[in-house]
Copies of this chain bind each other. A is one copy, B any other.
Amino acid sequence: MPKFLVNEDGSLGARNDAHCVSIEHKLGIKASPTAVLQFGDHGGAIGTLVGEENRGLEYMFIMMNSARFSVGMQGIAVSERAYQQAVNFARERVQSRPVDGSAREAVTIIHHPDVKRMLMTMRSLIEVARAVAYVAAAACDTAHQHADDAVRKQSEAFYEFMVPVVKGWSTELSIDVTSLGVQVHGGMGFIEETGAAQHYRDARILPIYEGTTAIQANDLVGRKTVRDGGAVARGICAQIAGTEAALGQHGGAAFTAVQAQLAKGRAALEAAVAFVVANAKSDPNAVFAGSVPYLKLCGIVFSGWQLGRAMLAADAKRGEDPSFHDAKISTAHFFAEHILSQASGLRDAIVAGAAPVNALSEAQF
């Protein structure tokens, strides 16, 4: 047996047989080195038991559940940084005359419709991911602190449903957002010194570590949807229908447009939940063939829901700061027509697209 690492008198003991044998060359997050560690190859390493025996996996999952939410937040954070940088560049970079002929000279690119479209895509994806994550975080607090046991349980179930969505959706969209951040910069975005490419490289690990998107999606399908027969999922859909009604009562053009897309999105999600619950036992390969599209559909529809709520709140507070609140309303409107509108396509992938996912044999790929 090797000696202890720290002697009884506090002096250093023998070196532990744990060695860093290499540092990985990674695509991104290079400020966070990943090491290959070797334990015990030269006589045996000392390990120290943390907590009680046989409860390590349980402890690990306390860390992991928290880490999953946190990685979702990383997706939002790197996206926000990419957006700020892209907006700043678009305000300064002069290129081409406007398509509407409103100026005879080249203008800053923030005046070109497709640059606006890219910035609105980035902006709206960040806003929705943040809104969904904050609503989930509030439910986590309620689940821990509320006086009413029934409310605690309901909040806990809602939060548990949201964790894989926050992790999977916020990190998948961070790839799109940081990619658009490069695109807004044009050729300059491909030069490392510009800084846009770093976000693109850094973001790529987020849908992988602490459980890939597929692992999140399997959790969402299995433990979070099938286990309770879709009860929590349908409960969320009922809340979404309430937001649709409020948007309809408002009646403004942007509000009814969001209402219409949200209603289509919710119907698509309800169809997907019914498919998942009905077929999980009898044909798990068919259900899990659509698990990631199901996670994305949840992400998109919950996002539309939260922006629907946000635009109603922004409208109520508009007088306090019209410019800020109008931007909120336009961002919700943009998201509904450009991204929430993908919901029915995702439903088709889940409900009708399983057979060709599983059709090819290993040799046919």
Interface residues of A (CB under 8 A from B): 24-28, 87, 90-91, 99-101, 108, 110-117, 119-120, 123, 175, 179, 182-183, 186-187, 189-193, 197, 200-201, 204-205, 207-209, 212-214, 217-218, 254, 257, 261, 284-285, 288-293, 323, 326-327, 330-331, 333-334, 337-338, 341-346, 348-349, 352-365
Contacts and interface: CB of A to CB of B under 8 A. Distances in A.
B175 A179 contact: yes
A343 B116 CA distance: 22
A151 to B, nearest CB: 34
Which 5 pairs of residues, A with B, have the shortest CB-CB distance? A337-B353, A334-B356, A330-B359, A341-B345, A114-B214
A249 B363 CA distance: 31
A87 B344 CA distance: 29
Nearest to A258: B356
Contact of A113 (B193, B330, B357, B365): B357
A55 to B, nearest CB: 23
Report the copy number of this chain in the oligomer.
Answer: 2
10 contacts: A26-B191, A27-B191, A27-B192, A27-B197, A99-B285, A114-B289, A114-B292, A254-B356, A334-B353, A341-B345
Highest count of chain B CB atoms <10 Å: which of A110, A208, A327, A360: A360
A184 to B, nearest CB: 10
A99 B279 CA distance: 13
A144 to B, nearest CB: 32
B208 A186 contact: yes
Given A117-B292, A182-B204, A197-B204, 17 more contacts: A26-B190, A27-B201, A108-B362, A110-B362, A112-B288, A113-B289, A113-B291, A114-B214, A183-B207, A183-B212, A183-B213, A201-B201, A323-B363, A333-B356, A333-B359, A337-B352, A337-B353
